[in-house]
Amino acid sequence: MQKHIPKHIHEIAQKLEDKDFEVFVVGGSVRDLLLGKLPKDWDLTTDALPVDVMELFPDGKSNNDFGTVLLPIRNEQGVSEEIVEITTYRSEQGYTDRRHPDVIQFEKDLELDLARRDFTVNAMALRVIHESEIVDIFGGQKDVNKKIVRAVGEPTDRFKEDALRMLRAVRFSCQLGFEIEPKTERAILKMAGTIKFVSTERIREELIKILESDHPYEGIMSLHRLKLLNYILPELERGLGVMQNHHHVYDIFKHNVLSLKYCPSKDWRVRLAALLHDVGKVQVKRIINGEATFYNHEYVSAKIAQKICKRLKFSLKDEDKVVALVKNHMFYYNVGEVTASSVRRLLVKTGKENLQDLIHVRIADRLGSGVKKGKPYKLRHLEYMLEKVQHDPVSVKDLKLNGDELMQYLDIKPSPKIGQIFDVMLAEVIEDPELNTKEQLLKRSKELNEINLEDLRRKAKEAIEEKRVEDDNELKKDFHVN
């Protein structure tokens, strides 16, 4: 494994050992090396105190509360490309808040440091210099070979110390393709309620990592089985046992999680949208003539998705993405009725940047409903049409005329009327892109400027909405599983 350790890690270790300090690569870095993977981050542990480390590496930044020095690794231009964490051996005592140790004590014994760690696969240390021996007192190598996530020592004690570790167990199992060891699972089931002591931000980050992993479906099902999901996404579990109509063979919960499983996108936001796309069906379910209906469920699902995103404190950008995908996942598209202008209107409605992701949500929806073919001809045709119209104007910024040019030509000052003129011209250009020339837009703007503001506002609204209504009317046909 030594040949996989970068030169700068050897150089750091050599400096410490030259001063008679011990130094080891520790934690996930060792686990990844054993798995034949190149670690993304390199963590070192040493018996040197932070002040000793800072003396050797004055470019580092010290956090003496936890004994960690953050050392930037710079390229030839002096730009930091990586941060190496160098942490003093330590033991920890007392976890009043179920998250952070009350007392941290620096140690000279590596085994005391390894004993405070969460799982055996993360509690190994590798000597960088000399023999490159692995210190493994908890059986981490054996568990790596058996593909097991097992808590160090007594699992209940580890989760009492830090409730986040329960989510980390699920996350590691998803990322590594490992099983959680039965005793560790039983401890999570027993301690699941203590997840409430963990900050929303930390829960969010673990959920994102689960969704980004190679096994997101297995991760969500593990959270469900271990009674953690009800504390994180309770809205999802409300679909348990709620059956759908004849198009669906699964209840709402299973349909949603299977949609996640079959989502072709690796973007965690698209995967989350697939997971939540039908979460509102529980609220809108009605029985009409003996048949279950879910009218407007996409809008209710979008509101629920937004509530979840706000609760988990996602960024506004990520929230907007997830909500837009859920809200528009029922978009109507039929090959026999499609025109280039209808595809452009669809781009206006969904956002050009979202439509391919919406197709992925649609594929996930179909496969999660038990349909064997995820991408029928109509979706393949839509992708063809998207390619065809990708450079066509679908927003005001695509018009060959800007606001300054319009105001100068009409000799008017900034006002709401300018926006209304642009709205009307955009609606017309979406129908016929050949109108998108400066000469024709200036001519049309002059005509529109003569119209009363209220009439213009009405005309702009009608121009934008008229065709959208036509496109949306077909939604009532429950197209989304056809």
Q: What is the pLDDT of residue 477?
A: 42
Q: Which domains does the chain have, with CATH numbers?
A: 2-144 (3.30.460.10), 147-232 (1.10.110.30), 270-392 (no CATH), 396-472 (no CATH)
pTM for this one? 0.85
Tell which residue, 99, 110, 256, 235, has the closest CA to residue 168.
99
**For residues 295 and 286, is the Cβ–Cβ distance under 8 A?**
yes
**Block means of pLDDT (10 residues each) for the chain, length 482 residues?**
79 94 94 91 93 93 82 82 91 75 87 94 90 88 97 95 96 97 98 94 97 98 98 96 80 96 97 97 88 88 97 97 93 69 82 87 91 78 82 91 95 90 90 94 92 72 59 44 36
Residue 437 β-bridge partners: none
Q: What is the pLDDT of residue 385?
A: 83
Q: What is the pLDDT of residue 333?
A: 66
Q: What is the pLDDT of residue 51?
A: 93
Q: What is the pLDDT of residue 472?
A: 53
Tell which residue, 247, 345, 339, 340, has the closest CA to residue 297.
247
CA 370-373-379 angle, to 5 degrees, is 120
Q: What is the pLDDT of residue 101?
A: 74
